[in-house]
Structure 1
Amino acid sequence: MAALAVLVVFNLLYAFPRYLSGDPQQSRIPLDPHFTQHYPVVVVHAVLGNLALVTVFLQILPWIRRHHPRVHRVSGRVYLFAAVLPTTLLAFALVPFSQAPFGAFGLTLSGVLWITTTVLGYRAVRRRRYVDHRRWMVYSFAISLGTTWGRVLAELMQAFPGFRVPLSFVLELSTWASWVINLLIAHWWLERTAPRAAQLVR
């Protein structure tokens, strides 16, 4: 939990100072001069994306689930309806302006999977299928952290003196590796903890 909290805070510190400045020059992604609303869309996308990270982190905290179930339920609805859905739709609007062709496909695929896993998790809990809810929401959380890991990877690849790679390569690699690796880790962890999880919801 502590490591995940560090990632959430890192993402907040990484995105907010630049995107809340109101200065398009502070954007961490290249802006298309022909798309006049490019910067505002990026800002709203960044703000709602961070809201998604904060609310989904509240979702996975065991203490909140056990002692404050209402907070768990409310944060889950905020995560789905106010964060995941609008964030992903805005991401789809930004995909045509991506400078990483294959990365743009990766972003689209991760967005589709993010919405799918979250909606399936919501549907499962509405039907009181708590084991399925847990599984889908863990996958959703893994995808939501993809952008954060991508940023960490991009920073590491550009942090070493003398080691320079094209920005397009960094974008391609970080766009795919981040969420794919997250999903593999999430699947491994779910399989490892499945028997214990089944006992907890009985």
Structure 2
Amino acid sequence: MAPLGVVLVLFVAFSLPPYLSLDPEQSRITPPEGVPLYHPLLVAHVLFASVATLACWFRQRFPAAHRRIGRIYVFAGVLPAGVIGFYLGAVTPFGPVARVSGVVLAPLWLICTIVGWRRARQRRFADHRRWMVRSFALTVSIITNRIWGVVFFLLLHPQLETTFHGDEKLMSWMVAGATAWLGWTLPLLAAQWWLDRRPVRRPTRTG
């Protein structure tokens, strides 16, 4: 978990500061016109998502505090970030393909997390772990999204004047749409593949 923790901490350290100033000019995403709440909600989403990103690692790092950190992950991280993320996905300035991805990803993230939390409350711990692995995959998908963004930009930018007829907005929509979908579908599929390879353990019930 140590290498993963380094990646998560570095990613948050790089992504978070521009939004702490609350200055839209510092944002890495230009707010769409006619959506005045976009930037304040984006800042909130980034803050809550950062909590979820860090908590999902510390939860593994400190198993004795698993329950407390797990509550932070769910209620101060995923739930508010997911609800806000659904709205941001619906009004994203990155085109219709990315928009559909956003409004699909947010509910899936919420569902996996809520079901995982409910299974823990029901003391169905084997099921809890499986659902939280899926939730974890969706939480860290923002990192793979950024990686795919660089890959697709490098692949498609040479075609700006040909395939995209010099239209930078069209190219950015193409890059954003591809990365938006690959960013979370591949980690989720990888997580499911990993779960299917592991034997299912019977839930542990105590008390």
Q: Tell me the residue number matched to 1:21.
A: 21
Is the contact made by 1:157 and 1:163 (CA closer than 8 Å) also made in structure 2? Answer: no
Give the aligned length. Answer: 194
Distance 2:175 2:6 in 1: 23
How far is 1:124 from its partner?
Answer: 0.8
What does residue 110 of structure 2 align with?
115
RMSD: 2.3
- Amino acid aligned to 1:180: T
After superposition, the Cα gap between the structure-2 partners of 1:11 and 1:90, relative to the gap in structure 1 and judged at 3 Å, is: same
Structure of greater Rg: 2
Q: 1:102 aligns with which of 86, 94, 97?
A: 97
SS at match of 2:45: helix
TM-score between both structures, scaled by the size of structure 1:
0.86
Partner SS, residue 28 of structure 2: coil
1:54-133 residue pairs with structure 2 within 5 A? 54-61=54-61, 64-65=62-63, 68=64, 71-98=65-92, 99-133=94-128
Identical aligned residues as a percent: 32
**TM-superposed deviation, 1:2:** 3.0
Instruction: Sort the Cα spacing of 1:96 and 1:109 in 2 relative to 1 into closer, same or farther, 3 A.
Output: closer
In the aligned structure 1, how far is the partner of 2:130 from the partner of 2:24? 39
| Alpha-carbon distance between aligned partners in 1 of 2:102 and 2:157, rounded to the nearest angstrom | 29
The equivalent residue for 1:3 is 3
- Cα shift readout 1:146-166 (whole Å, capped 9, x = no counterpart): 112101221343458964661
* 2:53 equivalent in structure 1: 53
1:3 alignment partner AA: P
Q: CA deviation at 1:22?
A: 2.8
Structure 1 segments, 4+ long, off by >6 Å, are none
Structure 1 CA distance, aligned partners of 2:109 and 2:80? 12
Cα distance in 1 for partners of 2:141, 2:38 equals: 22
Specify the alignment match of 2:173 in structure 1.
Answer: 168
Q: Distance in 1 between matches of 2:28 and 2:150?
A: 12
Q: Is the 8 A contact 1:11 1:50 kept in 2?
A: no
Counterpart of 1:180 in structure 2 is 185
8 Å CA contact retained: 1:32, 1:38: yes
Contact 2:152–2:179 at 8 Å: present in 1 too?
no
What residue identity is the alignment partner of 2:54?
V
Instruction: Write the distance in 1 (CA, Å) between the matches of 2:21 and 2:151.
Output: 25
